[in-house]
Amino acid sequence: MDWLKIFRAEKKTTAQTAKERLMVAVAYQRSGNANGPAYLPKMREELLGVVRKYVQVPDDAVQFTVQREDGLEVLELNITLPEQ
Amino acid sequence: MAKIIVVTSGKGGVGKTTTSASFATGLAMRGHRTAVIDFDVGLRNLDLIMGVERRVVFDFVNVINGEANLKQALIKDKQYDKLSILAASQTRDKDALSQEGVERVLNELAQDFDYIVCDSPAGIEKGAFMAMYFADEALVVTNPEVSSVRDSDRVLGILSSKSRKAERGEGKVREHLVLTRYNPSRVAKGEMLSVDDVKEILAIPLLGVVPESPTVLTSSNSGVPVIREENSDAGAAYKDLVARFLGEEVPHRFITEQKKGLLSKLFGGQ
């Protein structure tokens, strides 16, 4: 029966779609904030406090990203200062 | 030294309690002294699945609070004398499971049993965390379905970072994939994630595949763990899974579609 497929356009099955979507969702979960160290939120809070001693910044001024590459964990810290 | 095994999944309704009941029964059938604990405080169900609901006098929280001793609270299975059940409390709040209390009960059980199976509640709250924390090994129960697979991945992350083994640097919790409610004919049609898909996404070794089966429901109706059903493929799958867990080489069954013969096609036999 498989030769009939030749006449049909090759259509992606829903299972394939599910797999692709999961690969992305899981990669995000593993790399990102979901699995980052537990102290991150608190550290962010305290850093925000320190910055605010000197400059008035909004809540989202301090941003973290955690990346894992070749068994190496990289913590990137971004502080956005307001435009004067 | 007793081995502590958590049966977990993140998502609810995927078959944790069914798996806990059959896995624990299977270990006892093979002659191992086994205790199975329901960690779902407030939503006790393992007792029903194992058919001992009318024999619960004291529960897990009673033992933790010192209102009963372990011997009073453990329910001995009528069929297999090596199997005991510790029911969850039906009324107390989840904070009743203190880390020290759970540890004390597990240590006491470890003196009399070879295996301690911890049936985790759904979610990643206190009860689920307590069920996972002390584990040496984990059965991660997953359905071939997107939300279940993602939740399982989340639980694997917690196991590898927050378990006692991880905290103490004593190595990893040994993880096993248990794929339940598998329907090979839907997989063949491209409607359902395959075993290989799920294995590839979660990247943990496969312990067993349990096919979707009507006997899972009917055996729960009568409070008999499905592993005790002689003519059920789900029961057979659980027996295989237990054998594999004990180190035997057992080929996987129920992964490919069973071709129906002409007669059963005509008469619609099961």
pLDDT, tens only, B220-250? 999 999 999 989 999 999 999 999 999 999 9
- The predicted complex's ipTM stands at 0.83
Q: Which of A13, A19, A29 sits opposite B153 (nearest CB)?
A: A29
Res B139: pLDDT: 98
Answer for the pair B171, B190: CB distance below 8 angstroms, yes or no.
no
Q: How confident is the model at residue A74 (pLDDT cuts 50, 70, 90)?
A: confident
Residue for token pair 């309704």: B13
Answer for the pair B74, B38: CB distance below 8 angstroms, yes or no.
no
| Opening angle at CA B159, ends B158 and B163, nearest 5 | 105
Q: Which residue of A has its CA nearest to B154?
A: A29
Percent of all residues in chain B with a pLDDT value above 90, rounded to a whole number: 85
A56 vs A61: CA distance, rounded Å: 10
**Token pair for A74:** 């990289």
Q: Tell me if residue B125 falls in helix, strand or coil.
A: coil
Which chain B residues have a beta carbon less than 8 Å from that of A29? 150, 153-154, 157
Backbone angles phi, psi at B17, to 5 degrees: -70, -40
**Token pair for B226:** 């499905």
Answer for the pair B173, B203: CB distance below 8 angstroms, yes or no.
no
Q: Which residue of B has its CA nearest to A27?
A: B201
Instruction: Name the amino acid, one letter, at B178.
Output: V
Q: Which residues pair with B84 in a beta bridge?
A: B35, B76
Query: What pTM was estimated for this model as a whole?
Result: 0.82
Q: Which residue of A has its CA nearest to B160?
A: A35
Bigger pLDDT: A2 vs B63:
B63
Question: Can you give the three-state secondary structure of chain A, one letter per residue?
Answer: CHHHHHHCCCCCCHHHHHHHHHHHHHHHHHHCHHHCCCCHHHHHHHHHHHHHHHCCCCHHHEEEEEEEECCEEEEEEEECCCCC
Q: Tell me if residue B142 falls in helix, strand or coil.
A: strand
B148-173 burial string, b = 16+ CB within 10 Å, else e? bbbbbbbbbbbbeeebbbbeeeeeeb
Q: Which residue of A has its CA nearest to B193?
A: A15
Q: What is the pLDDT of residues B19-78, one digit of tens each?
A: 999 999 999 999 999 999 999 998 999 999 999 999 999 999 999 999 999 999 999 999
The per-residue pLDDT of chain B, averaged, comes to: 93
Residue for token pair 């608190």: A42
**Cβ pair A30:B157 closer than 8 A:** yes
Asked if the model's pLDDT at residue A1 lies above 60, the reply is no
Backbone angles phi, psi at B36, to 5 degrees: -125, 130
Find how far residue B161's CA is from the centre of its chain: 21
**Token pair for B33:** 């002294």
Asked if the model's pLDDT at residue B100 lies above 80, the reply is yes
Query: What are the start-end ranges of the H helices in chain B?
Result: 16-29, 46-49, 60-64, 70-73, 99-110, 126-133, 146-162, 164-168, 184-188, 195-202, 214-221, 233-245, 262-267
B178's enclosing H/E stretch is: strand B174-182
Q: Tell me if residue B167 falls in helix, strand or coil.
A: helix
> B96 vs chain A: nearest CA distance in angstroms?
24
Interface residue of B146, B158, B163, B187 to substitute, partner A, most A CBs within 10 Å? B146
Q: Which of these, B38, B96, B108, lies nearest to B64 by C-alpha position?
A: B96
Asked if the model's pLDDT at residue A34 lies above 60, the reply is no
Which chain B residues have a beta carbon less than 8 Å from that of A22? 146, 149-150, 193, 201
B136 vs A41: CA distance, rounded Å: 29
**Cβ pair B201:A23 closer than 8 A:** yes
A81 vs A65: CA distance, rounded Å: 18
Phi-psi map region of B223: left, alpha, beta (phi>0 left; psi -120 to 50 alpha): left
What number is the average pLDDT over the span B136-145?
97
Beta-carbon contacts below 8 Å between A and B: 45
Instruction: Name the amino acid, one letter, at B64.
Output: I
**Cβ pair B146:A18 closer than 8 A:** yes
Interface residue of B154, B159, B179, B202 to substitute, partner A, most A CBs within 10 Å? B154
What number is the average pLDDT over the span A1-5?
57
Q: Which of these, B46, B28, B83, B81, lies nearest to B246 by C-alpha position?
A: B28
